[in-house]
Chains A and B, each alone.
Chain A
Amino acid sequence: MDDLVLGIVAIIVGVAASWGLYWLLDFLVRLLPEKTQEKLRAFSFLLPAAVLLIVISVLPFFQTIAWSFFDKRAKEFIGLENYVELFADENFLGILLNNFLWVAFVPAITVGFGLVFANLANNVGPKREKVMKSLIFMPMSISFVAAGTIWGYLYDYPPPGRPAIGLLNAIIEAFGGEAQPWLTIDAGRLNSFLLMIVVIWLNAGFSMVMLSAAIKAVPEETIEAARIDGAGPLKIFTSVIVPQIRGTIMSVFITTVIGVMKVFDVVLAMTGGNFNTSVLGYEYYRLFFVESNIGGSAAVVTILCVLIAPLMWLQVRTARHQEEIR
């Protein structure tokens, strides 16, 4: 109960304080001569955001990169040793392979499901469209941990001699097969793929919503013209609709790639990184919280950032492009 009161007080004080802060900044700027005012005006609106970003995200980012060249306790400079150690470690190479698999499969499949859902939903009439879209979209509002529980139950492996209460094993048994401890099977990285299904399940709704909006924005005349020329539905889709929504497909794809690169919670909740399912996001967590290895975990994050950097560039370019369209 105390916490609830604290929360409410915090909200009131926080809002009042930030309002007061901006008022104060504006007041201070207006004390200055007209010309300086003109120069500092943007400053009074930007300062709090800039301070917060620099202190909590930009400077710590550089600190992390610096620490990746330091030892476990971030005391002694050891050059590239952390990196050498990581790349000589077979487990870490397996982690990189997992990350690669995640990026290779999840975004493409997510976009694929999104396209299928969006197309079907556009054909069923507005009322049904709304209900069905909500149901597919709903997992977006669930945490990775809750999703991990939901799917962990679906993959559940009963102790020997007990009946299968997980859906997957029950289906296998219904067809005469034998129940398997699915999440422990790393042959062909099967368990990693089972984790990917969870993320696809979570993200397909996002992909559907974005693509459906884009498809609806395709001018009716272009579709009509193709229809008059005798094109079938599939042909219309591949040569009329897809080229016009390419921008959105790309942006959903990139957004999903970025999300998947950082995947962490699902792995933590479902396998705890065991059975060769670990990924960079999880390895960072493990090195810091289990092994108290600051240098090592900083090196893992730095590698993650290097891998994400090209996407940063793509993101900036897409944003620029959108502004030009506007």
Chain B
Amino acid sequence: MNKFFSVIRNWRVGSTLALTFLVIIWSTPTVGLLITALRDRDEAAATGWWEAVFNPLGQTWSIDSFAKAIDGGMLNALIATLVITIPATILPLVIAANAAFAFTFIQFKGREILFASLVALMVLPLQSALIPVLKGMVWLKKTFGIELVGNYASAWIVHAAFALPLAIYILRNFMMTLPTSLIEAARIDGASYYQIFWKLIIPMSIPSIASFAIFQFLWVWNDYLIAFIFVGEQKAVMTYKLLRLLGQYGDGWQTVAAGSFISLVIPVLVFFALQRYFVRGLTAGAVK
């Protein structure tokens, strides 16, 4: 028995060492970029960032590159990204929660087939719809003067539509675990489905709503294609700006590094703060 425990202990030390090694490899690329963002311009062009790690006191540290990235429009891009992301997270949640409620608690004809098509839609690449939707929005503008393209609203709508299948799927999977007896009891007490949904189901579904909200928040925040096509340059989001910064060679890695850092600080914070819910959302679909 003693031998068994010593094997376990050795396992633990070995695993810790191996995992630490892998974690270091996994973090190195990000750390390198962040250190570069904080270094002096000339020094960063002359030596690798690891020199600064080995000799932190012999370095000139500076935040000039952040100032430069902000001058280059990163702050406006941050605001644009926020304004796109938050409504594009809330809108699909409201719509999906209603639909998931119907799929879970209301019997209707064709429910199974509709739900299967929804699962199939989860796989559809969003590129398959973008150009017709863009043309449609341009047509709306020409015919009725409704200006969607170039405005945030277009991105909200498109993001909402493409989030629906997964959102309905995750929320329904969760709602199916709620006790039906509770709903039946509420029905007998004379509550309408509408009341049951808002007063009973929504409060009980908060964990899955949080899961999807974080998932969608990160997805929209990090999206490039939809923001590029529908909102474009006037209200450029951060992925858009970052790509432009990346294209400006001769400027060194400084500004790009600071720009990347500005673009990833919010999602990373959200991620670390709410990781639990995010993981729950991811596993909701795949692990029973």
Binding site for B on A (CB under 8 A): 1, 3-4, 6-7, 10-11, 14-15, 18-19, 22-23, 26, 30, 39, 41-46, 48-50, 52-53, 55-61, 63-64, 67, 116-117, 119-121, 123-125, 128, 132, 134-146, 148-154, 156, 162-167, 170, 201, 204, 206, 209-210, 213-214, 217, 233, 247-248, 251-252, 255, 258, 261-262, 264-265, 268-269, 281, 284-285, 288, 294, 297-298, 301-302, 304-305, 308, 311-313, 315-316, 319-320, 322, 325-326
Contacts and interface: CB of A to CB of B under 8 A. Distances in A.
Given A42-B108, A67-B131, A151-B29, 8 more contacts: A10-B152, A41-B102, A45-B98, A52-B164, A124-B16, A248-B286, A288-B131, A316-B119
Given A7-B83, A60-B133, A146-B242, A301 B127 contact: yes
A125 B238 CA distance: 38
Interface string B13-25: 0011011101100
B102 A46 contact: yes
A164 B282 CA distance: 40
Given A165-B45, A209-B282, A120 B128 contact: no
B121 interface: yes
Contact of A298 (B101, B126, B131, B164): B131
A277 B177 CA distance: 45
Nearest to B34: A150
The 10 A-B residue pairs with the shortest CB-CB distance in the complex, in nearest-first order: A143-B222, A7-B83, A56-B161, A60-B132, A60-B129, A141-B271, A123-B15, A45-B102, A42-B108, A49-B99
A49 B95 contact: yes
Interface in B95-131: 95-96, 98-99, 101-102, 106-108, 111, 116, 119-131
Contact of A308 (B47, B123, B256): B123
A258 B123 contact: yes
A142 B131 contact: no
Interface stretch (B58-66, B192-200, B205-213): B192-200
Contacts of A149: 33, 242, 246, 256-257, 259-260
Given A4-B83, A138-B268, A145-B242, A322 B29 contact: no
* Interface band, chain B: 35 or more
Given A265-B225, A301-B127, A154 B286 contact: no
Contact of B224 (A61, A144, A210, A252): A144
A261 B90 CA distance: 28
B94 interface: yes
A271 B225 CA distance: 16
B24 to A, nearest CB: 9
B127 A304 contact: yes
